[in-house]
């Protein structure tokens, strides 16, 4: 069974702040950025000049989430390269400040970020907040906890695998086609999700103004948002590769280089175990398993950026049998400032799906420069 994590949101329904960063900060339908630096790809880059061009938008997303603002807080709408706003000029200074703090005090490790002070507010809070709950959380964080009675990660993975039907039942699923609806704010649209073993996936959302597609062909991901084709960055593809793994529960034991088990938070009234998995060269993955059923209730993963981690949380619910395998029929995906929910209405297994369905269309043509 593949965890039904929707993969179209990065091109569609990501909220105004992330969508404008993807489509507004880039040149219209730009050429591929492979091998280019941010300064070579974008106009008027004065800080972060030497980072890969594909890393600039994730960095802007991190700033947006850290300050709780949208693109136009710093940028002139439809003219992202202009320096008309003082906030943009000051943002450059703040980026340099955090980088220098880490360089001079923490051996270059990224310990201080925008979020360290802003905490989701445009203006940093400089006066301590009086909150018994926050104080208790901080006190507990510094205490040593005896984990000798905690279950091992392998035991939790085995229980999860058994809860969804077992390895043999998973192997009998070669494809899955799901239909349902996606709700974002007050808008509800139909969605279709196609998956094919071992690791191909496509999501299609249809609205009145067009169709948005996100897909992973087993090697790389791509997006087609209302006629605009874009290949995923390597980091984006790595995230969607997890979503596309049709046999995810059976692969958990081999995914990580280091694992830690802790008490998880209560989710929808269910006590959980938290497994934090580390992977070589990648951000950690946090998995919350129901203590009673063993089912996966929440996943938190992170996309790295030059300025910090961008978090993504997926909550799974409404588990039902589908082809002798138990899968979530509802899940909610949350990022800072926005969330959406998928509700599956029908799920069909072992349907013939042509591999060509997952192949990206030709890149959108780049219009000639205006004179």
Q: Which CATH number covers residue 105?
A: 1.10.468.10
How many residues in the chain? Answer: 371
**Res 30: pLDDT:** 45
pLDDT at 5 over 90: no
- Whether residues 201 and 122 share a domain: the answer is no
For residue 363, tell me if it sits in a domain: no
Q: What is the mean pLDDT of residues 123-144?
A: 57
Q: How confident is the model at residue 227 (pLDDT cuts 50, 70, 90)?
A: confident
Could you tell me the two tokens for 149?
Answer: 């009675």
Q: Is the pLDDT of residue 267 over 50?
A: yes
Higher pLDDT residue, 313 or 139?
313
How far is CA 115 from each of CA 95, 102, 125, rounded to the nearest angstrom?
Answer: 12, 14, 11
106 and 51 together in one domain: yes
**292 and 163, same domain (yes or no):** yes
Same domain, 211 and 277: yes
Q: Among the three residues 91, 126, 161, which one is the final residue of a domain in this structure?
A: 126
Q: Identify which of 7-16, 33-42, 99-108, 357-366 has the greatest average pLDDT.
A: 99-108
User: CB burial class (10 A; 0-12, 13-18, 19+) of residue 68?
Assistant: middle
Range list of H helices, 56-205: 56-67, 86-105, 114-118, 132-141, 153-163, 167-171
Q: Kindly state whether residue 55 falls inside one of the protein's structural domains.
A: yes
Residue 48 maps to a domain: yes
Write down the mean pLDDT value for the chain: 83
Whether residue 140 is contained in a domain is answered as no
**Chain-centroid distance, C-alpha 95:** 23
Number of domains in the chain: 2
Claim to verify: residue 92 and residue 224 sit in the same structural domain: no
Residues 81-102: what's their mean pLDDT?
A: 85
Determine the pLDDT at residue 171: 94
Regarding whether 160 and 108 lie in a shared domain, the answer is: no
CATH code: domain of residue 277: 2.50.20.10
In a domain, 5, yes or no: no
Please say if the pLDDT value at position 28 is more than 90: no
- The residue out of 83, 110, 126 marking a domain boundary is 126
One domain, residues 42 and 186: no
Same domain for 67 and 177 = no
Instruction: Please tell me whether residues 269 and 347 are part of one structural domain.
Output: yes
Q: pTM of the prediction? A: 0.78
Co-location of 87 and 175 in the same domain: no
| Domain membership flag for residue 28 | yes
Do residues 180 and 94 share a domain? Answer: no
pLDDT, position 365: 52
Higher pLDDT, 229 or 246: 246
Of the residues 126, 161, 190, which one is the last residue of a structural domain?
Answer: 126
Specify if 142 maps to a domain.
no
User: What range defines the domain where residue 343 resides?
Assistant: 153-358
């Amino acid at each position: 069974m593949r965890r039904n994590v929707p993969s179209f949101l990065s091109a569609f329904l990501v909220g105004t702040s992330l969508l404008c960063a993807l489509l507004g900060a880039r040149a219209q339908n730009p050429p591929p950025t492979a091998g280019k630096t941010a300064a070579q790809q974008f106009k008027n880059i004065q800080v972060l000049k030497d980072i890969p061009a594909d890393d600039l938008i994730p960095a802007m997303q991190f700033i947006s989430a850290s300050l709780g603002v949208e693109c136009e807080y710093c940028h002139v709408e439809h003219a992202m390269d202009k320096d008309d706003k003082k906030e943009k000029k000051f943002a450059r200074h703040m980026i340099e400040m955090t980088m220098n703090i880490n360089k001079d005090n923490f051996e270059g490790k990224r310990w201080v970020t925008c979020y360290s002070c802003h905490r989701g507010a445009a203006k940093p809070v400089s006066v301590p907040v009086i909150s018994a709950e926050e104080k208790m959380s901080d006190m507990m964080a510094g205490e040593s906890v005896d984990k000798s009675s905690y279950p091992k990660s392998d035991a939790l993975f085995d229980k999860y695998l058994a809860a969804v039907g077992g390895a043999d039942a998973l192997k009998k699923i070669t494809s899955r086609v799901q239909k349902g609806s996606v709700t974002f704010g007050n808008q509800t649209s139909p969605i279709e999700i196609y998956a094919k073993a071992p690791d191909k996936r496509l999501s299609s959302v249809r609205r009145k103004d067009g169709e948005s597609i996100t897909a992973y062909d087993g090697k790389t991901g791509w997006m087609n948002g209302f006629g605009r084709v874009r290949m995923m960055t390597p980091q984006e593809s790595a995230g969607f590769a997890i979503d596309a793994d049709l046999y995810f529960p059976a692969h958990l034991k081999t995914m990580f280089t280091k694992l830690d088990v802790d008490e998880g938070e209560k989710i929808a009234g269910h006590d959980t175990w938290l497994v934090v998995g580390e992977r070589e060269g990648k951000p950690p993955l946090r998995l919350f398993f129901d203590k009673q059923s063993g089912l996966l209730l929440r996943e938190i993963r992170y996309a790295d950026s030059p300025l910090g981690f961008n978090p993504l949380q997926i909550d799974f619910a409404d588990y039902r049998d589908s082809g002798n395998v138990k899968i979530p029929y509802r899940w909610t995906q949350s990022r800072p400032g926005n969330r959406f929910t998928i509700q599956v209405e029908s799920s069909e297994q072992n349907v013939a799906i042509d591999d060509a369905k997952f192949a990206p269309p030709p890149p959108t043509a780049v219009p000639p420069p205006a004179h």
